């Protein structure tokens, strides 16, 4: 019996199971528009319910498709993804067609023998050894993906699972951690053609699905602790309080935008044995107080000669570059290679003033694809804490190479701004 006939018999409408906020995403999956779906949101957003519905529907439509559901710690599988998928099976009215096993933990679609397997990333060998008798693993679900150790771990797992087929659907669900420093918050700012990032909240979910008490609790927290409410219920990255730049936006800066940039600035932070050479290109919209960072060179062990060649290739006809004046020999060497460059004019408090100037901008827009290192450093730059857990007053001097390059690039703007302030 086909899925269409079974669902028709039960008279089940997907609109009764999927919240309106997920309709467009459902169509994306149905039309094979992406491979990787990152679903973030707060409590009660029904993102896990949506994923479980999509996996069960997808498997019943595609007889060659199997699924793997993952948690970082295997002991958490049964009470989370396993129960969630059982919920989806029951809500779709197809329980008679599925077999549930506890040892080993798995769900089997009886008509075809398709399986949903459950694995914990705390035992990576068990993930690498996953095999299916026929067909292939099309669906992969990382529940609470922020608990994993980062994209390197995710890539290794995907390399083991995503093989033998021509179409895959990989779901990553999580409540965003409060700190932008967390790897998963950084990861979803990056744009890839085969990835879609989706944000959902309880506000788009029918009240009857969550119950009146859920909304009472949410409203109470909103009144007594709005920041906690925004983080827990709206899934916002509210921060730890130590973020230096709260005005950063990561998005694609289009070629059309770049064509009309008329206040382009360039800066260099010199590299050392373990530090990268950094060249930054940005546009400063003085009227709207917006900074656009749209090009970078970021490389460890790069000689000045090679750096000059890369700058000429990447930015032919460049105007004057402002560099860290602490290395006059490097500046002289770059000049000998035909680079128009001068050293920054530093003052005793130039670092603090430069960072505060950047903090005070209306917006710092960074193209995460063109400038992944600038995006990472600006987002992760946070005040450090002392032994008592209090934030230190000074700005940290590490993992800030692109930030320094931007400060040098904007030196003239900063000096003018300071003079105007002191008048």
Q: Which residues are catalytic?
A: 144
By three-state DSSP, how is residue 275 classified? coil
d(CA 190, CA 252): 9
- Which residues touch 248 (CB under 8 Å, ≥6 apart)? 363, 364, 366, 375, 378, 379
d(CA 182, CA 252): 21
β-pairing, 169-174 vs 136-143, is parallel
284-288: list long-range contacts, CB under 8 Å, 24+ apart: 284/410, 284/413, 286/413, 288/362
* Of 383, 363, 376, residue with least CA distance to 403: 376
The number of C-alpha atoms within 13 Å of 148 and in the hemisphere containing its C-beta is 26
H or E stretch including 347? Answer: none
* Of 47, 52, 87, 84, residue with least CA distance to 67: 52
d(CA 421, CA 383): 26
Task: Please provide residue 264's backbone torsions phi and psi, each rounded to the nearest 5 degrees.
Answer: -85, 130
- Residue ranges in 19-99 assigned as alpha helix (H): 23-30, 47-61, 83-91
Distances (CA, A) of 44 to 25, 50, 229: 18, 12, 12
Q: Which residues pair with 99 in a beta bridge?
A: 108
Which strands make up the sheet holding 169-174, listed edge to edge?
Answer: 98-102, 105-109, 114-120, 65-71, 136-143, 169-174, 36-41, 195-200
* Of 236, 145, 183, residue with least CA distance to 375: 183
Distances (CA, A) of 367 to 7, 179, 182, 194, 296: 45, 21, 19, 18, 10
């Amino acid at each position: 019996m086909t899925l269409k006939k079974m669902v028709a018999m039960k008279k089940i409408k997907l609109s009764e199971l999927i919240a309106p906020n997920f309709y467009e995403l459902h169509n994306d999956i149905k039309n094979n528009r992406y491979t990787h779906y990152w679903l973030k949101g707060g409590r009660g957003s029904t993102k896990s319910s949506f994923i479980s519905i999509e996996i069960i529907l997808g498997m019943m439509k595609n007889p060659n498709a199997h699924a793997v559901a993952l948690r970082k710690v295997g002991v958490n599988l049964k009470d989370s993804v396993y129960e969630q998928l059982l919920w989806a099976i029951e809500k779709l009215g197809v329980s008679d067609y599925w077999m549930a096993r506890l040892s080993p933990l798995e769900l089997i679609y009886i008509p075809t023998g398709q399986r949903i397997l459950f694995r914990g990333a705390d035992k990576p060998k068990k993930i690498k050894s996953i095999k299916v008798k026929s067909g292939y693993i099309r669906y992969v679900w990382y529940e609470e993906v922020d608990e994993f150790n980062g994209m390197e771990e995710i890539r290794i797992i995907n390399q083991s699972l995503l093989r033998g087929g021509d179409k895959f659907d990989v779901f990553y669900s999580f409540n965003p951690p409060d700190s932008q420093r967390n790897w998963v918050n950084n990861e979803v700012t990056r744009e890839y053609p085969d990835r879609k990032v989706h944000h959902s909240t309880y506000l788009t979910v029918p009240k009857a699905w969550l119950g009146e008490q859920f909304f009472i609790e949410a409203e109470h927290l909103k009144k007594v602790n709005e920041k906690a409410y925004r983080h827990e219920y709206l899934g916002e990255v509210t921060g730890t309080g130590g973020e230096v730049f709260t005005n950063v936006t990561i998005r694609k800066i289009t070629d059309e935008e770049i064509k009309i940039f008329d206040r382009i600035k360039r800066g260099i932070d010199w590299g050392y044995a373990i530090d990268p050479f950094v060249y930054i290109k940005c546009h400063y919209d003085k009227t709207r107080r917006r900074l656009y960072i749209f090009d970078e060179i970021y490389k460890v062990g790069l000689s000045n000669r090679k750096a000059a060649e890369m700058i000429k290739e990447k930015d032919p006809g460049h105007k004057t570059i402002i560099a860290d004046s602490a290395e006059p020999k490097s500046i002289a060497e770059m000049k000998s290679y035909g680079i128009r460059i001068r050293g920054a004019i530093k003052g005793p408090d130039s670092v603090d003033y430069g960072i505060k100037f950047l903090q005070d901008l209306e917006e710092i827009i960074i193209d995460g694809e063109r400038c992944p290192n600038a995006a990472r450093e600006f987002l992760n730059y946070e005040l450090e804490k002392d032994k008592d857990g209090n934030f230190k007053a000074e700005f940290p001097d590490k993992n800030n190479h692109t930030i320094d390059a931007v400060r040098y690039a904007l030196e003239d703007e900063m000096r003018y701004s300071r003079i105007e302030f002191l008048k």
